Amino acid sequence: MDAPSPEEELGSERYGLVLNGRTYQALFAYTVEERWEPGPAAVIAPDAQQKIFFRALPLQSLVPILVSAGTVALLSISVWQGWIPSLAVSQNLVFSQLEFWRIFSALFEHADAKHLLNNLLPYVGLGWLLWGYFGSLAFPVVPILLGSAANFLAIMTYHPQSLLVGISGTVFAMAGMWSALYIKNDSRFSIRKRILRAMGFILVLFFPLSLEANVADRVHILGGIFGFIAGYFGWGKLQPERVSAQKNSAGRVKVL
């Protein structure tokens, strides 16, 4: 009968040979215990984290952003053509006529084509960044809610009959969120440099819009403040998805 191989599994046990050079001395049996234990949390070096955070966004990720922007444009055009009634909001409409839905619907109506285009360009750009790096919570869910909240507070500071329209409150909320998330995550630079870069980004992007007539600056300010707070104090909920997944993953090791 052939002798067992140096390591052969028979039933639940394994057998091995004790050899002295090429001379057989003894046969011994042993078992292998396998169990899973949580390992230490994964740690990402700062440079590796930046490679993930600043990864290139695929062009196909623009599709949901363009669909969202197209919906805004379609609703605005529908109001202009008289296909649907006005979606504007005012203090009187909300508190006297109890049309609370207008706080949300006013985001999707614009005064004219120029107003619409000025809002949609940064809306698409910022939406692509937020959705691509941080997921659907960062766009469009949170910005839409923050834009509605900005509308609600702003109408209480204007004349009861003053009408507000446009998605600029949401756009400024998106800018505030992106600035806060950038400050939190771009560890390549000191905190002072991150703040200065974020401020420069906001000024370059939105200063021209603030020079136009009939601009609801209070909505812009409120939206930006709300967005920054949501991004900076989001308790990790708005962290980059891939980075968070690796930071919070607990490895599993096989112990023999």
Nearest CA-CA partner of 224 in 199, 194, 241, 192: 199
Number of Cβ within 10 Å of residue 4's Cβ equals: 13
Predicted pLDDT at 145? 95
- Mean pLDDT, consecutive 10-residue stretches, the chain (256 aa), reads 47 58 62 59 52 65 91 97 96 95 96 91 91 85 95 93 93 92 82 87 69 72 93 75 44 32
Say if pTM beats, i.e. exceeds, 0.95: no
SS3 state of residue 113: helix
Distance in angstroms (rounded) separating the CA atoms of residues 248 and 51: 18
- Per-residue pLDDT of 220-239, as tens digits, reads 889 999 999 999 888 666 76
Predicted pLDDT at 244? 44
Question: Is the bond preceding 140 in cis, omega lying within 30 degrees of 0?
Answer: yes
* Domain architecture of the chain: domains with CATH: 7-35 (no CATH), 44-244 (1.20.1540.10)
Distance in angstroms (rounded) separating the CA atoms of residues 216 and 45: 44
Helix, strand counts (H, E) of the chain: 10, 5
Contacts by 155-162 with C-beta closer than 8 Å and gap 24+?
Answer: 155/89, 155/90, 155/91, 155/94, 155/103, 156/91, 157/218, 158/90, 158/91, 158/216, 158/218, 159/91, 160/90, 160/91, 160/92, 160/95, 160/96, 161/90, 161/91, 161/92, 162/90, 162/91
Predicted pLDDT at 56? 67
- Per-residue pLDDT of 104-114, as tens digits, reads 999 999 999 99
Distance in angstroms (rounded) separating the CA atoms of residues 253 and 42: 13
Q: Which amino acid is at 232?
A: Y
Encoded tokens for 164: 């507000």
Predicted pLDDT at 29? 64
Predicted pLDDT at 247? 43
Predicted pLDDT at 148? 96
